[in-house]
Structure 1
Amino acid sequence: MKKVGNPNSFSKTFFSLAFSVMFAIGVNAQDAAAAPAAAAPAAAAPAAGTGDAVAGKALFNTNCAACHKLDAKMTGPALRGVGDKYDKEWLYKWVKNSSELIKSGDAKAVKVYEEFNKTAMTAFPQLSNADIDNIIAYTMMPKEEVKTAAVPQGSEKTGSGVSNNLILGVLALILAVLVFMLFMVNKLLKKVVESKGLEVAETPKSLPLWKAFVQNQFLVLVSAILFLLISAYFMYGYFMQIGVDQGYEPIQPIHYSHKIHAGDNGIDCKYCHSSARVSKNAGIPSLNVCMNCHKNVSEFQGDKDSVYVDYTKEFYTAQIQKLYDAVGWDKAAQKYTGKTKPVKWVRIHNLPDFVYFNHSQHVTVGGIECQKCHGKVETFEVMKQDQPLTMGWCVDCHRKTDVKIQDNAYYKKIHDQLSKKLGVTKLTAAQMGGLECGKCHY
């Protein structure tokens, strides 16, 4: 009897082993690059002149900042380097009582008075000469320049120093060697079989998989039912997502950081969206609301190292300039030019037309915080839709939210009746009729 050999069995085993080894090496070769720590250079303190600049800064912010900036005109002139423009004796008189100096006919006082639309400066008789010296010392400090630290060439490569490309190249070379060895072993085994006169066992032809599937009617029926059920599930999921824009975060024509305004500065949401308290709509604030503050705030004044800052000072200042261009504000002349450019804001929250939602009902009557629906807006650099705003989401909120019974005389009677009828001390919006279709759809 002749021995029957099968050289392919060894080849398959060898190839499987090689593939397993390569896969294990590939998984273990993945490495995470360590993020380099950027060292912030310490700003050198300016040399102190006459007066205490630190104390002067506090005095400036308390008494002067409402009308003056260091480097730009506001209600009054820019004060950077004011000690070089006027002598100290004149400044003492001007700060303590500018009106008296103007009435005396002082040429410099009259010139400043007329240049700034004859706006009277508040008198500060309580400030001593030493206090004024401190303020002058603060205004004489050189303007800080934002310096970008130069990154040394090649410093971006950190960690172990071994390139990922090098590792991939070595792995590719090992794979090529293994494939070549597999080919040579298979060829050698065939020669051994031929030299010994052995017959290679032929693998019997099996029925194609698709034919076996078609011939099994039970399997076809079950597969068809599963296909229809899975298709219906995914189709339902697809249709339920139409009009649901959770996470929508468009880029606006003027970048507005809620993170800085509502977070860092603590501005109340309803200062800008004032109509949310009394109207169905929260409304888009007019640019006049922005100008209430930005007539005086013409550049970004935050700390560049603050957790509220995601962009550069130049970027934020450029956005304020876009605001000025839109409303036609001349920063240098401190007046409107009359040339405006409408801003085309991109709408984010958009309920269907067949849904009724009243902001004042929720904000004023219900006392619901804005964050309940809009997310932690004070942490958003770019505004986005935080919640799905679907019917299921609204209904779930109505079922869980307790209605404020205390201090609500308008609803006191119905509250008392429902509490007695339902035997509860707290009522949810759902128990008040918040699940009726007609409340939101009519």
Structure 2
Amino acid sequence: MKKVPNRNQFSKILGLSLIAFLLFVSPLTAQDEPAAEAATTEVAAGAGDAKNGKALFNQNCAACHALNRKMTGPALENVESRLSEDEGLGKEWLYAWIKNSPGVIKSGDAYANKIYAEYNQAAMTAFPTLSDSDIDDILAYTAAAPAAAPAPVAGAAQANATTTGSAGVSNEIILGALVLVFGLLVVMLLLVNKTLQRIAQANGIVIEKDSASKRTPIWKAFAQNQFLVLVTAIVLLLGSAYFAYGWMMQVGVDQGYAPIQPIHYSHKIHAGDNKIECKYCHSSARVSKHSGIPSLNVCMNCHKSVYEYTGNPEGPSQEDLANGYTNEFYTGEIKKLYKAVGWDEETQNYTGDSQPVEWVRIHNLPDFAYFNHSQHVSVAGVECQTCHGPVEEMEIMYQYSPLTMGWCIDCHRETNVKVEGNEYYEKIHAELSKKYGVENLTAAQLGGLECGKCHY
């Protein structure tokens, strides 16, 4: 019988199978991109433009009013029809009320004085700059049926799982087809292998199996080479010492620490999207050693009116959707805030039933290290991002800098003090320039490297 080496006869078969596989799959995956749905607003004949009315409502009314709930002012959904049916008041009354509510109250109008008394005798802000057509647009928006809220999205995979229409094929069907084709390929290869072995036996061909020549095992050859063993031992010892030193130097360094807080607070939304200054919430950083944890009353300055999150105008990113950061998630966190401060959304009053929020501290210096925020923020003019990183981009706040002594010393050596217009440093800079010819003044030259400055 003729002997031939077994060089894996399946390479050609596998290549042909892959070609067939690609030809089968390509029609399924060549889907047309779904057309983007254009948002349309139905405007009744003679009515205002609800789309423009939404923009005007958000600019002028949303701070005190919502469509479907009482806030600082009453709910405004279908306000025109409700006033017409319940009070017999038409658009002309609304025009007068919106443009000059104090004047309508002083005129003795019964319904105007009823609303004035119901809302703690706080007159609505007058909007004389709004035209009748602007008010028509706002009323059209309040009369429009609210759009159905989108279902919460659990992840990016679910967000992308959309069909291409009645003529398209869903991703689930494509995935199932791929699994089926792969299974058929495996079965086909097994059958081909079995068939080739039968043909070889029938023709008297003996398939020789590749057999490696006998050689000394690698571990035994390594053990017999004493020089190689010695070099390896030295390398291992030095490497172990290096990594042990690096690990010990990280003890107490919490760079990257990002704990989960009891109420999710997005610096990305507040400091980034809404441009809220850091020192508005952390006001004590200007005058105190500590930056302080903002009181929940500071949060309620805005969230008395902002009771739900409507999202970024550009829409949530895929990363946010993958992490579950949907509008519903953020609105739920606002409800946690209300529960903590004891805020009743219906009556728009505090109930007195408040609960402490156990915030988890992120930045924590050792007790033997002294750091004063006001000295750096108010006197030196150091920006918050210098130490805390790009806070305006952080969804979850984390420790950006290592906060080690070496990191502080490097900053004191390299950072020039801002002396222009800063009376605190002007005299010192003038004296040092006279004596030493100092052009740029650093914290190190002011004694910033003395041990007693930070350890006392």
User: Normalising by structure 2, what TM-score?
Assistant: 0.74
Aligned to 1:41: 37
Equivalent pair of 1:373/1:386 in contact (CA under 8 Å): yes
Aligned to 1:119: 122
CA–CA separation in structure 2 for the residues paired with 1:375 and 1:80: 44
Aligned to 1:155: 170
Q: Choose which of 55, 62, 85 in structure 1 pairs with 2:82.
A: 85
CA–CA separation in structure 2 for the residues paired with 1:321 and 1:160: 40
Q: Are 2:145 and 1:145 aligned?
A: no
Aligned to 2:352: 338
Aligned to 1:136: 139
Aligned to 1:195: none
Q: Choose which of 273, 279, 285 in structure 2 pairs with 1:264.
A: 273
Per-residue CA deviations over 1:263-293 (Å, capped at 9, x if unaligned) read 1111101101111111111111111110011
Over 3 Å counting, the alpha-carbon distance change for 1:391 and 1:188 in structure 2 is farther
Equivalent pair of 1:46/1:142 in contact (CA under 8 Å): no
Task: Tell me the CA shift for residue 216 of structure 1.
Answer: 6.0
CA–CA separation in structure 1 for the residues paired with 2:67 and 2:395: 28
CA–CA separation in structure 2 for the residues paired with 1:132 and 1:106: 20
Equivalent pair of 1:263/1:308 in contact (CA under 8 Å): no
Over 3 Å counting, the alpha-carbon distance change for 1:302 and 1:211 in structure 2 is closer
Task: Tell me the CA shift for residue 18 of structure 1.
Answer: 11
Per-residue CA deviations over 1:153-200 (Å, capped at 9, x if unaligned) read 962269999848966995899799999999x99x95889xxxxxxxx9
CA–CA separation in structure 1 for the residues paired with 2:405 and 2:179: 49
Over 3 Å counting, the alpha-carbon distance change for 1:215 and 1:122 in structure 2 is closer
CA–CA separation in structure 2 for the residues paired with 1:218 and 1:176: 53
Equivalent pair of 2:316/2:326 in contact (CA under 8 Å): no
User: Normalising by structure 1, what TM-score?
Assistant: 0.76
Equivalent pair of 1:264/1:308 in contact (CA under 8 Å): no
Equivalent pair of 2:43/2:49 in contact (CA under 8 Å): no
CA–CA separation in structure 2 for the residues paired with 1:96 and 1:324: 33
CA–CA separation in structure 1 for the residues paired with 2:410 and 2:180: 52
CA–CA separation in structure 2 for the residues paired with 1:178 and 1:435: 77
Aligned to 1:284: 293
Q: Are 2:70 and 1:70 aligned?
A: no
Over 3 Å counting, the alpha-carbon distance change for 1:36 and 1:156 in structure 2 is farther
State the number of aligned residues: 414
Over 3 Å counting, the alpha-carbon distance change for 1:125 and 1:151 in structure 2 is closer
Q: Which amino acid aligns with 2:269?
A: I
Helix, strand or coil at the partner of 1:267: coil
CA–CA separation in structure 2 for the residues paired with 1:79 and 1:289: 27
Helix, strand or coil at the partner of 1:270: helix
Unpaired stretches in structure 1, ≥5 consecutive residues: 1-6, 192-199
Over 3 Å counting, the alpha-carbon distance change for 1:394 and 1:161 in structure 2 is farther
Q: Are 2:47 and 1:50 aligned?
A: yes
Task: Tell me the CA shift for residue 221 of structure 1.
Answer: 4.6
Aligned to 1:387: 401
Aligned to 2:448: 434
Unpaired stretches in structure 2, ≥5 consecutive residues: 22-28, 84-88, 152-158
Q: Which amino acid aligns with 2:302?
A: C
Equivalent pair of 2:68/2:76 in contact (CA under 8 Å): yes
Q: Choose which of 345, 351, 363 in structure 1 pairs with 2:377.
A: 363
Q: Which moved more, 1:352-361 or 1:156-165?
A: 156-165
Root-mean-square deviation over aligned CA pairs: 4.4
Q: Which moved more, 1:248-257 or 1:258-267?
A: 248-257
Aligned to 2:111: 108
Q: Which moved more, 1:105-114 or 1:381-390?
A: 105-114
Equivalent pair of 1:97/1:123 in contact (CA under 8 Å): yes
Q: Which amino acid aligns with 2:443?
A: A
Q: Which moved more, 1:416-425 or 1:311-320?
A: 416-425
Q: Which amino acid aligns with 1:46?
A: E
Q: Which moved more, 1:296-305 or 1:307-316?
A: 307-316
